[in-house]
Structure 1
Amino acid sequence: MSTEYKALTLGIGTVELIDRPDGSQLLRNKEPLSPYPETLMQRLDEWAERTPDQVLVARRDASGDWQKLTYADAHQKVRALGQALLDRDLSAERPVVILSGNSIEHLLLAFAAMYVGVPYAPISPAYCLVSKDFSKAKYICELLTPGLLFVDSAGQFGPALSVIQSTDTTCVAVDASGYDGAATSFADLLNTPITDAVDRAHNAVTADTIAKFLFTSGSTGMPKGVINTNRMLCANQEMLASLMTFHRTQPPVLIDWLPWNHTFGGNHNVGIVLYNGGSLYIDDGKPVPGQIDITLQNLREISPTVYFNVPKGFELLVEHLERDDALREHFFKDLNLMFFAGASLAQHVWDRLDALAIKTLGHKIGMLTGLGATETAPSAMFASLEESQSGVIGTPAFGVEIKLVPNGGKTEIRVRGPNVMPGYWRQPDITAKSFDDEGFYCLGDAAKFIDPTNPQRGMRFDGRISEDFKLDTGTWVSVGPLRAKVIEAGAPLIKDVVIAGLDKPYVSMLVFTDVEQCRALSGLGPEASNTDIHYSPAVRARFESLLQHLIDTSTGGSNRVARAVLLDEPPRLDAHEITDKGSINQRAVLENRAAVVTDIYSATPSNDVIRLS
């Protein structure tokens, strides 16, 4: 039985590496980027005419049935909504802000805004529903000065709306029940009579018209508004279509939960569907125990042609695929590729997916890796299937130039291309600092060649420049690779780790555990507190063993982890310790938990500190 990958043609191209007099290098693809449309909504026009009855988007309704919307239906509704936005005199100075999560209404309003050239900004629902002070939502709205706020349930978002809504901002809601304020019905907007103003506005949209604002998580505090132009979105989708060439002849089918307020879900995945005339089935599940059951039900009915998830999602999914043959058969039936983002996928999970694909199909299904950012819309680099593994970011996409700059013993990577943002909205100082004098966007990431003698094999991620630090011995600690090693070695007990040791004699770590996995190991019941679980003999012994493993496999002080603390309190959104997509802000955690770090490095640490001597 073959264990090779499914036969696919991936557009990786051929790269060239150019040495420069200043010591930097340019890495670029010799393959030019093919022409692409000026605006993403030209694709909506195209598919509404060519394949009017094709399902564009679907979502389960309250009864559990799929509510489906075709390209023709969506096109008509988008034009009506576009007229409603024009009637309200919205613009880049008064954009649309979408506070709710993924829904058909969200997608229609987003498309309508882009259709008539009104920027929109999808905001994380967590900023209104999880946050206690709504500080991030308030900050974003003060930065954007929106003319319209959209929510699915005005009653649910009421407390946040009372803080962030200004007097000249219209609130539009799918459901206004339970809300004391004024809210316009989304249904009323759909009934807006269409005039020729829609066509005039639509024809005036250009490649440089702002399509949306996407907000980064913020490395030190408040998010930054990344300007996304139509050129960025269309160029990136052409890069993806040039890579996944099968989309040219096989419209993609996605079943996807990834949030649209992030570039992976909102630009990458939604864009792949629209650009290639495919179908998006909105998955209301999440990669957490309990909510993944919704995802499993969807995957039993919808066979994806490409599947995107975060590592935790694949980790939970693989357990069910191993137990449920019917689910496994249906999942792999039409699948061409998988892709993960947000963190590294543990190798043991990857191996299990490969084994399941071979069992089902007789060959592997490729798992793509690469590099991207909100500021690059998002994709910039892709790995070939032969080189693809966690940490490998590959070679530049078609049309992208990568600048390699020596920086503190590492190689910093910078990006230039039509997919790169023009800047951050209303933050010129931050924008200026984000680009070098040649117009390359400074990602802040480091990379190194897999094989310095063969650039075609691509590059491997080498951590974030800003996270790395020196011990008091002068030894550099490369946080990214060490963090990945710890999480892999500590699976499945570790959700994330923060590496400490700046100006200290050795490296230590603060651990956010997977409490339920630790609970199972401890043998304690559901009433046990996090502290009780972390102090249980079995859990302490497992982490002592992990420390010993890290010491035994270290190559020196830069990756020898001597002490650890298991954090009882999860990372806090309002304290900027975690983004709504689950990424840890290392700097914020270390600042907010300075007392823990002090304890770790004390000559007489408390019993919270796990150490071997």
Structure 2
Amino acid sequence: MTTDAITVAAAPPPAARYRALPVGGSLDARAETAPDGTQFVRSVEPLGEHPRRLTDPLLHWAATDPGRTLAAKRVDGGDWRRVSYAEAVAVARRIAQALIDRGLSVERPVAILSDNDLEHLLLGLGCQFAGVPYASVSPAYSLMSQDHAKLRQVLGTLTPGLVFVAHGAPFAKALAAAVPADVEVLATDGDAAGAGRPVTAWADFAATPDTPAVDAAHARVGPDTIAKFLFTSGSTKQPKGVINTQRMLCANQQQLRQCFPDLAVTPPVLVDWLPWNHTFGGNHNIGLVIYNGGTLYIDEGKPVPALIGETLRNLREIAPTIYFNVPKGFEEIARALEADAVLRETFFSRVRMLFFAGAGLSQPVWDQLDRVAEAHCGERIRMLTGLGMTETAPFAICANGPDVRSGHIGLPAPGMTLKLVPSAGKLEVRYRGPNVTPGYWRSPEQTAESFDEEGYFRSGDALRQVDPADLRRGYVFDGRIAEDFKLATGTFVSVGPLRARVSSLGDPCVLDAVPTGLNRNELGLLIFPRADACRALAGLGADAPLAEVLQAAPVRAFFQALVDRLHATGTGSATRIERALVLVEPPGIDRGEVTDKGSINQRAVLQHRAALVDRLYEDGAPEVIRPRPARA
């Protein structure tokens, strides 16, 4: 690896130049306010025509450029195996026939338990040709969970007729715990012994000769056909199966194209790890490639110390035209770009846009990416974002203007209407549009609870205008309504912005933090440390126990300084940290404290660590960090 570090300026020049990126012009909207203070914000731009089915653009590209690569993945860490558009259609048709032969349907759909791979993609496309829904289920429910409770709940909701895993052996325990004996298991390797039960081999399944029955089934697929189910993370409750129709998927991709018309000119090339059991990777990014005739390089890396090296290896070899990631991923990429000349050369060679979602990107990381780009190629790359959710397919609000900053989410995408409802001193955003789900699968009560009397989907997210005098500047994310709480004084604590501030000031040693203080006098924090950064700061090896690492003098000094700064920069009791506890035990997926994307859930952490919260507020507890008195 080349480690040719570059020197970057402490601050960007006042008039920055950006790489050209045709966008649809900054979004515009019209707002009306009802007597009760509710606001209705509608996109001025209408949604353009779009296909009835996501397979329609797939067929278009297979006909116009059959040899173009749709997707590629390394074989056992070596060379790339590529699947063309024509090959994808041919294999998907054979898969569709196999599904039809088995009588699979919306009542007996397909469940995919393993991670992103080419067979996973082809199986999903085959399902869409056959009109059989599928669900990509979090691999963590099978491979990381100890009790498989969430997997059983998900499969119990789905009642699948076919379950797919990439390899039998790693999933043997999950299959035994959650998949009924009469449900067929399909595996890439056909490892019956490893799976502990009969397994259908992928090679045989995908070789099923297709017949006119596939054309008949595909003809019945329309906008209201259920394409897939995506299960919410279930961090506060049991996972819910979000219905995703063909209308949702196609309307959402047309919304994206109207916000970023360059997609229709330059077929996107993605190097992407984002999991397909989540809407960002599985809907947004796969759909973007298919809709616009692009190419997806499946990245087996992740933004964690053990796997980030694979992502960097791929990005040194494949130059994306658009790069998507979560904020944690951009933190890792920014550090690597600063140190690695080969990575900079490839990455910046043709990337036209950076886009993050899933959480807020800290402004220091944003600024670092700008500085590195300017130092290398003399121009910045536009960083864009928005707001959406699984229930909106996910694109709903987009920030594509020239002055996007950390926290900005923009204005409604074409075809969307936002309803902003006053709630606990904030404005909760509710959605209506063609990309909004009709509800949750086999859960009529939860569906009814999620829509208001006018048919708007209740998001639970809060927004506020960037500039109350200028709607065109859009909105900023203002936290989750359900996460906010009151101190004993009656003062509201806005959790989202506070967590973002802690993560920014605590870089690189803070993974995340959970504010505490419900019905208490003071605001506190439970801090999840980033173990690798703390070990590096302590000068200890990778195997050093975290409890020992946190006792090292440099680490203790870091967290003391962080609490001091958080206290000193607080503007009142709702933002001034008075005590903190650095946690040794990482967040647990079985307890719903974390998703497999690494998102921490406030409510679940506080529920399962109530004893630690009590300890945090004990007078004299030695492990609690209190701010030091300010020097005169």
TM-score by length of 2: 0.95
Which of 1, 10, 33 is equivalent to 2:23?
10
Q: Write the deviation string for residues 418-453 of structure 1: whole angstroms up to 9, x where unpaired.
A: 010000111111111111111111110111100011
The question of 1:351 aligning with 2:364 is answered: no
Which of 100, 106, 129 is equivalent to 1:92?
106
Query: Could you tell which deviates more after superposition, 150-159 or 291-300?
Result: 291-300
In the alignment, the residues of structure 1 paired with residue 463 and residue 264 of structure 2 have an alpha-carbon distance, to the nearest angstrom, of 32
State the match for 1:45 in structure 2. 59
State the match for 1:609 in structure 2. 624
Deviation at 1:601, TM superposition (A): 1.3
Q: Write the deviation string for residues 548-607 of structure 1: whole angstroms up to 9, x where unpaired.
A: 211211111111110000000000011111111111111111111111111111234x22
C-alpha spacing 1:33/1:54, structure 2 compared with 1 (3 Å): same
Deviation at 1:366, TM superposition (A): 0.6
Query: Could you tell which deviates more after superposition, 131-140 or 349-358?
Result: 349-358
In the alignment, the residues of structure 2 paired with residue 251 and residue 384 of structure 1 have an alpha-carbon distance, to the nearest angstrom, of 19
Deviation at 1:385, TM superposition (A): 3.8
The question of 1:107 aligning with 2:139 is answered: no
Pairwise mapping of residues 439-478 of structure 1 onto structure 2 (< 5 A)? 439-478=455-494
C-alpha spacing 1:523/1:351, structure 2 compared with 1 (3 Å): same
Q: Write the deviation string for residues 15-48 of structure 1: whole angstroms up to 9, x where unpaired.
A: 1111123321111111001010011011111111
Deviation at 1:484, TM superposition (A): 0.6
1:10 is paired with a residue whose SS is: coil
**Percentage of pairs with the same residue:** 52
Asked whether the 8 Å contact 2:29–2:471 carries over to 1, the reply is yes
Unaligned 5+ runs, structure 2: 1-12
2:145 is paired with a residue whose SS is: coil
Q: Write the deviation string for residues 33-77 of structure 1: whole angstroms up to 9, x where unpaired.
A: 101001101111111111111110111112611111111111100
Which of 331, 334, 337 is equivalent to 1:315?
331
In the alignment, the residues of structure 2 paired with residue 272 and residue 155 of structure 1 have an alpha-carbon distance, to the nearest angstrom, of 33
The question of 1:599 aligning with 2:612 is answered: no
Which of 552, 572, 596 is equivalent to 2:588?
572
1:390 is paired with a residue whose SS is: coil
Which of 64, 79, 82 is equivalent to 1:68?
82
Asked whether the 8 Å contact 2:21–2:353 carries over to 1, the reply is no
Which of 247, 253, 277 is equivalent to 1:261?
277
1:609 is paired with a residue whose SS is: coil
State the match for 2:444 in structure 1. 428
Asked whether the 8 Å contact 1:369–1:390 carries over to 2, the reply is no
Asked whether the 8 Å contact 1:98–1:106 carries over to 2, the reply is yes
In the alignment, the residues of structure 1 paired with residue 98 and residue 200 of structure 2 have an alpha-carbon distance, to the nearest angstrom, of 11
The question of 1:77 aligning with 2:83 is answered: no
State the match for 2:6 in structure 1. none
Which of 117, 137, 142 is equivalent to 1:123?
137
In the alignment, the residues of structure 1 paired with residue 371 and residue 557 of structure 2 have an alpha-carbon distance, to the nearest angstrom, of 31
In the alignment, the residues of structure 1 paired with residue 96 and residue 48 of structure 2 have an alpha-carbon distance, to the nearest angstrom, of 30
Query: Could you tell which deviates more after superposition, 452-461 or 291-300?
Result: 291-300
1:446 is paired with a residue whose SS is: strand
Pairwise mapping of residues 363-378 of structure 1 onto structure 2 (< 5 A)? 363-378=379-394
Asked whether the 8 Å contact 2:514–2:602 carries over to 1, the reply is yes
Query: Could you tell which deviates more after superposition, 475-484 or 545-554?
Result: 545-554
The question of 1:207 aligning with 2:220 is answered: no
Which of 189, 193, 208 is equivalent to 1:175?
189
The question of 1:505 aligning with 2:492 is answered: no
Query: Could you tell which deviates more after superposition, 38-47 or 385-394?
Result: 385-394
Deviation at 1:609, TM superposition (A): 1.0
State the match for 2:35 in structure 1. 21
TM-score by length of 1: 0.98
Asked whether the 8 Å contact 1:522–1:536 carries over to 2, the reply is yes
2:166 is paired with a residue whose SS is: strand
The question of 1:529 aligning with 2:542 is answered: no
1:153 is paired with a residue whose SS is: coil
Pairwise mapping of residues 234-383 of structure 1 onto structure 2 (< 5 A)? 234-383=250-399
**RMSD between aligned residues:** 1.3
In the alignment, the residues of structure 2 paired with residue 100 and residue 62 of structure 1 have an alpha-carbon distance, to the nearest angstrom, of 16
State the match for 1:389 in structure 2. 405
Pairwise mapping of residues 478-493 of structure 1 onto structure 2 (< 5 A)? 478-493=494-509
Pairwise mapping of residues 556-571 of structure 1 onto structure 2 (< 5 A)? 556-571=572-587
> How many residues align structurally?
612
Deviation at 1:526, TM superposition (A): 4.1
The question of 1:231 aligning with 2:247 is answered: yes
In the alignment, the residues of structure 2 paired with residue 526 and residue 14 of structure 1 have an alpha-carbon distance, to the nearest angstrom, of 51
Unaligned 5+ runs, structure 1: none
Query: Could you tell which deviates more after superposition, 534-543 or 428-437?
Result: 534-543
Deviation at 1:391, TM superposition (A): 1.2
Deviation at 1:527, TM superposition (A): 4.8
The question of 1:160 aligning with 2:174 is answered: yes
In the alignment, the residues of structure 2 paired with residue 63 and residue 148 of structure 1 have an alpha-carbon distance, to the nearest angstrom, of 29
Pairwise mapping of residues 404-423 of structure 1 onto structure 2 (< 5 A)? 404-423=420-439
In the alignment, the residues of structure 2 paired with residue 270 and residue 278 of structure 1 have an alpha-carbon distance, to the nearest angstrom, of 9
C-alpha spacing 1:422/1:30, structure 2 compared with 1 (3 Å): same
Asked whether the 8 Å contact 2:513–2:528 carries over to 1, the reply is yes
C-alpha spacing 1:183/1:527, structure 2 compared with 1 (3 Å): closer
The question of 1:149 aligning with 2:163 is answered: yes
In the alignment, the residues of structure 1 paired with residue 569 and residue 487 of structure 2 have an alpha-carbon distance, to the nearest angstrom, of 19
2:350 is paired with a residue whose SS is: coil
1:402 is paired with a residue whose SS is: strand
Asked whether the 8 Å contact 1:213–1:225 carries over to 2, the reply is yes
